Structure 1
Amino acid sequence: MSPPPNVSFEIQVLTDKHWVVADFANDEAKARAFADNLLQKGNHAAVRVVRDRRGLDGLHTETVIQEKTAAPRTGGPDLSLAPVKDAPLCRSLGDFYGIEARLTLGRMLRKYLDEVVVSPSELLHSAAEMKRFGDRGTLLFAAIDRISTLQAATSGEDGKTRRDFLSRMWDEGLARARKVAASKPKTPKTLAEVLKGVEKGGDEHPYLCLSLMTLRLLETRSWIGKLDTILGWAAEATEMGPQAGSALALMDGIVADILNSAQLIQDLLGYQANLGAALCSLSDLAEGTGQAAKFAPETFNGLNALFATGVLVEGRRVLLDRVARELGGQNPLSRNEPKQETEVCHKVMHRLVGHRGVLGEGASAEAMVHRIAHIHAHLGTLGTVQAVELTLSALSDGVRRVQFLLALAKAPMGLAMGRGLVDLLSGRVLGAKTMNEWVPARLGPPERMAALAAANRSLLASAELDEDTRRQLASHVDETLAAYLVDEGVIEKIDKPDDPLALRAIRLIKFCGSGVLIEGKSLNLARARVIEHLRQPQFEEKFLASVPKPSEAEKHLREFHRLLVETGFR
């Protein structure tokens, strides 16, 4: 129940032994959640919520209703290795600089990297940082031992052989970095200076480019500051044209490294009501459609704009990997309001599963099954098929269910299900015979038709299905769409007899090329109506005569012929 208008809440933080107001709220639950979020970020020693009640006499009464203190930090920073379950097999020094190796390094050395605020790319391209890491007690040897054990289990090699190889590669990488440092390169301030410094780099161009970028980035010991520097370079790159394309790809890798830090993600997103909301925000950011939350830095907007351009391929992957890991994990999606756990889960699922596919593909689909199984743990141990069925029931329409199953087929869980998953998918597709079983009626006809067309394309593109199954299921979707066109009189509504012929013809041809129809029965229905018009005697004369403004008649006829060619008519 909402509080009376004479009650408000202050969220206060302890700063230099004084309580300072961080924000105000009208809702007690939101105030408590916001205070908890501030404390979890670790930037404040204590937080509290104060209820301010204004009496009829105008006087205010303040009551502390929540006060929490952060756990004290004892000893030095915890620089132990984080657990990793697998590691990519490295065969040459070049493999150590690849995205897979850097992400593994970032996860395993997370505590150390966050303590020194250095990304894996910076670590591997700076002789000083490599030496600094090597001098941290037994950390380097422990890391090599951990990775060599994982790699040996994958490759079948002897563990000692792997350890010796990794140690040798580390030494070679350090020697390579020292060679660059010995040339005493000038620290660049702009992307133009970076590119000028590597003009004669030859085969070493990417390494030298990253080495110069690292010199500049190491001057900033904050993740947000590093991102701001990269955003500045990216802005330069847009003005420089194609010559900056390779540099943008290198910047993408550094951004991916930085986004691998959970600490950075918390700072970047600002206030989030719960984990579910944070996962939706990360998904939006990965697609360049994010909205900055309260207390989010301006960096969020710049990064979101860069994601929207599509150049941050590796950065997008890192964000979506984090979404999948968190969604499939054990942490509550709605910690402060447990009763909303299922609702928040469904919201995240519908953010990831759309009519055109699943954001994060197989990893996201499998994570949803794990989350649903966790939510329904009260039912006892669930089999995979049961958990998948419960996940399907949580999705709102048939197209989303089909897209989910197609994505799950790419994941280890789906591959393990084998024919069982194919049978489940076939049953869902063939059992839906009307548009209402595929897409809810609340959506408009264009959205409903586009959803079915997307499902058809996804089925035909699924490498996990055999060709006969793909064709059978895709054909059924096409037949459903064709039946919808006939039952709803869609083509008749577009081709109104009372409208001028030119308008009718152009509308029809645009409908054929709109992408909401399927190459097959549904598209053929619309094409047949166009051909019917084209075959009538003196079509062009009638077309020209029907244009309201005679001076524009030829222009519209040329446009019509252009559309004919674009949509495949001859």
Structure 2
Amino acid sequence: MLRKKTLEILTLREGSWAIESAARDLESAEKAALQFLGKPGVMGVRVLKETTKDIGNPSPGDILFEKLRATGSNDRIAVGEASRLAPVCEDIEDLFSGGGRKSINRLFRAYLDKNTVTATEIMHNAREMKRVMDFESLMPSAIAKVAQMQARDIEGMETSSRRDTLFGFVDRINQRAKQAEGVDLPSLSKTDINDAISEINQKANGESPGYLFRVAASRELVNVRDWWGKFALSVDWAGACKSDPALANLDWFISDALSNASVLQDLLGDQETLAGALISLIEIADGVREIDPEKAADSTTTEATAAKINSLFKAEKLPEAKLSVMDRVCRQLQGSGSLSKDKAEEPKIFREMLVRLIPGTELTGGPEMAEAITHRQSNIINKGGERGLKDATASVLPALRDPGRKAGYLLSLMDSELGKDLLKDDIDQHLNGLFMTPESVNQIIRTGVAPNKKMEKITSIFYRIQKSNLPDARKQQLTQHLDELLATYVVDGKILDRLDDPNKPLHIRAFMLVSMCQPEMLPDGKASKLAREIIVKHLRRPNFETELVAQVPDAAKKEKILRDFHVQLHRSGFFN
């Protein structure tokens, strides 16, 4: 049987043509080629007839389609933004992980995207390190920008001193990478990942095994010159890896790859709206994205890789990669792009998103998400500047309805850059209005909610305030007022009297009373103390346990009730 002719799709990167994909017909090939042209670092695309000739020098008749990107200011590699850097790095180890590497990814984003290389690869590969150090004035410019920003924000720090420190970090990273060049490490593409880890551990010889593992991984990945390929290979390694320390290092590579827009786009697939794309990204980060099992069964598909990372995210094995995805969500939400095709639908779509972003007292994405929500609301109400952000904060609250969600939003916003500066006083005023001004539980939760649900809601707010970064005096002020409201609610509503009704069997009364002392029902304070006093009074009665199960005829059931009651007493802190 004759094989069908195949058209080859080529991309031009750094002056060299390489086969990127293939297609059966010219229409499909042209469409795919134009998609490749939109990716960072691709300067041109071609569609060729399948040939055995040199693809870099084809015959004119073999070129069926060609398009080159115009060079100009849009392709200039410049230093990225440094306005939201992580805390000041004290050592080169701080640059390898977490906020330090996140900052590097932002500063060098244009360079990384154009050269199809990750920050971790550069810092662990002497050849790539030299390339970035020699590239125009990129490194000095980045260091100068960071040094100026940190010296401005940190009292007692001088720009020149900080700049020298950062240059010193670069030199040390470079020297360490050079020294690692001579170390004989196993090829991760030719050796089982777990066998390779064992071999690397044996060859450490004074160097960190984790560092050498990253060197070995970088040696493989720098030769993979497409972003999805880097991502898929890193995910494959992570899926097979049985070493938690090595998996933590692979998390860095995956996180770096997810900082590239094309990888996220490929992972997402086609999305009708920005709102849908952002919700899908959150589902990916939570490991709950629905993936077609039939497509995922084919190891060559994007769905197969998506299924693997889905499992890793669900098992919480990739914390830095999750942060990378959520960082993208925050930046896209904060931007000016429309959430829906119909601009008039924007407010409604955003309110629907808030249900997913703020499900309760905890905010998906933390302080960065709270800030992004505030900026998006500012765009929706069409008010800019400081006044716009203040008004946006106030107008988000009614949309949340639930007081626990409002507390979650405000307390997360308080930890953001906006909350620490511009919105600090506004947040304080909103907290007062929500939780200090009300004189009863019913003024905080006004809907027809059952008494136990009201108490649980106020208690969840109590705990959220308690673990917040508010000053201790402010925490005490707010939580003490909520506790007093709860105590008043319990007394005025005769809740304990209704629970301790003598007409009910004692074991039912006892369990209901103990439930009032559960940590999720009432916090340790005045309200729970009222219930505890009644329980202690019962416990001190002679033959209490006999009376507790006196109205239960079945002996086995009696034992179970006594056992369960002791468990609940222990959970409520009676034996502490």
Give the TM-score, by structure 2 length.
0.75
Residues 441 and 222 (structure 1), Cα distance of their counterparts in 2 relative to 1, 3 Å cut:
farther
Q: Match of 1:357, SS?
A: coil
Verify: 1:81 aligned to 2:84, yes or no: no
In the TM superposition, what are the counterparts of 1:196-275 in structure 2 within 5 Å? Answer: 196-201=199-204, 202-218=206-222, 220-237=224-241, 240=242, 244-275=243-274
2:329 counterpart letter in structure 1: V
In the TM superposition, what are the counterparts of 1:30-429 in structure 2 within 5 Å? Answer: 73-75=69-71, 78=75, 80-81=77-78, 83-86=80-83, 92-133=91-132, 138=136, 141-155=137-151, 169-188=169-188, 189-201=192-204, 202-218=206-222, 220-237=224-241, 240=242, 244-292=243-291, 297-334=303-340, 336-377=341-382, 382-416=387-421, 417-429=423-435
Residues 225 and 513 (structure 1), Cα distance of their counterparts in 2 relative to 1, 3 Å cut:
farther
CA distance in 1, matches of 2:36, 2:213: 38
CA distance in 2, matches of 1:557, 1:111: 67
Residues 381 and 155 (structure 1), Cα distance of their counterparts in 2 relative to 1, 3 Å cut:
closer
Residues 41 and 132 (structure 1), Cα distance of their counterparts in 2 relative to 1, 3 Å cut:
closer
Deviation at 1:455, TM superposition (A): 0.8
CA distance in 1, matches of 2:509, 2:36: 60
8 Å contact from structure 2 (residues 281, 325) kept in 1: yes
Partner of residue 505 from structure 1, selected from 501, 510, 513 = 510
8 Å contact from structure 1 (residues 271, 296) kept in 2: no
Deviation at 1:172, TM superposition (A): 4.3
Verify: 1:463 aligned to 2:469, yes or no: yes
8 Å contact from structure 2 (residues 82, 103) kept in 1: no
Verify: 1:17 aligned to 2:26, yes or no: yes
CA distance in 2, matches of 1:305, 1:442: 40
The CA deviation string for residues 510-563 of structure 1, in whole angstroms up to 9 with x for no partner, is 553352322223323443443344244422112344444313433442332233
Q: Alpha carbon RMSD of aligned pairs, Å?
A: 4.0
CA distance in 2, matches of 1:222, 1:39: 13
Deviation at 1:389, TM superposition (A): 1.4
Which residue of the partner structure matches residue 29 of structure 1? none
CA distance in 2, matches of 1:192, 1:509: 54
8 Å contact from structure 1 (residues 356, 451) kept in 2: no
The CA deviation string for residues 300-357 of structure 1, in whole angstroms up to 9 with x for no partner, is 33323322333433223223322222222222222x2111111122223332223222
Deviation at 1:405, TM superposition (A): 1.8
Residues 252 and 504 (structure 1), Cα distance of their counterparts in 2 relative to 1, 3 Å cut:
farther
8 Å contact from structure 1 (residues 496, 504) kept in 2: yes
8 Å contact from structure 2 (residues 334, 373) kept in 1: yes
8 Å contact from structure 1 (residues 355, 451) kept in 2: no
Deviation at 1:122, TM superposition (A): 1.5
CA distance in 2, matches of 1:98, 1:346: 35
Deviation at 1:165, TM superposition (A): 6.2
Which deviates the most, 273-282 or 79-88?
A: 79-88
1:209 counterpart letter in structure 2: F
Q: Match of 2:80, SS?
A: coil
CA distance in 1, matches of 2:146, 2:554: 75
Q: Match of 1:307, SS?
A: helix
Which residue of the partner structure matches residue 477 of structure 2? 472
8 Å contact from structure 1 (residues 501, 542) kept in 2: yes
CA distance in 2, matches of 1:378, 1:94: 42
Which deviates the most, 409-418 or 454-463?
A: 409-418
8 Å contact from structure 1 (residues 453, 515) kept in 2: yes
8 Å contact from structure 1 (residues 544, 550) kept in 2: no
CA distance in 2, matches of 1:361, 1:148: 30
Residues 560 and 180 (structure 1), Cα distance of their counterparts in 2 relative to 1, 3 Å cut:
same
Which residue of the partner structure matches residue 562 of structure 1? 567
1:212 counterpart letter in structure 2: A
Residues 530 and 166 (structure 1), Cα distance of their counterparts in 2 relative to 1, 3 Å cut:
closer
Residues 246 and 328 (structure 1), Cα distance of their counterparts in 2 relative to 1, 3 Å cut:
same
CA distance in 2, matches of 1:38, 1:494: 68
2:183 counterpart letter in structure 1: S
Deviation at 1:492, TM superposition (A): 6.9
Residues 276 and 419 (structure 1), Cα distance of their counterparts in 2 relative to 1, 3 Å cut:
same
CA distance in 1, matches of 2:343, 2:217: 45
Q: Match of 1:516, SS?
A: coil
Which deviates the most, 474-483 or 492-501?
A: 492-501
Q: Match of 2:436, SS?
A: helix
The CA deviation string for residues 459-502 of structure 1, in whole angstroms up to 9 with x for no partner, is 223332351x3223213323444455567776677667676544
Residues 512 and 300 (structure 1), Cα distance of their counterparts in 2 relative to 1, 3 Å cut:
farther
Q: Match of 1:354, SS?
A: coil
The CA deviation string for residues 21-68 of structure 1, in whole angstroms up to 9 with x for no partner, is x9xxxxxxxxxxxxxx9998899x9xxxxxxxxxxxxxxxxxxxxxxx
CA distance in 2, matches of 1:527, 1:114: 62
Give the TM-score, by structure 1 length.
0.76
Q: Runs of 5+ in structure 1 lacking a partner?
A: 1-13, 23-36, 46-69
CA distance in 1, matches of 2:281, 2:495: 39
The CA deviation string for residues 347-399 of structure 1, in whole angstroms up to 9 with x for no partner, is 23332223222223322222222221221126998354333212223322222
Verify: 1:517 aligned to 2:522, yes or no: yes
The CA deviation string for residues 49-89 of structure 1, in whole angstroms up to 9 with x for no partner, is xxxxxxxxxxxxxxxxxxxxx99733599362353134565
1:174 counterpart letter in structure 2: N
CA distance in 2, matches of 1:546, 1:166: 76
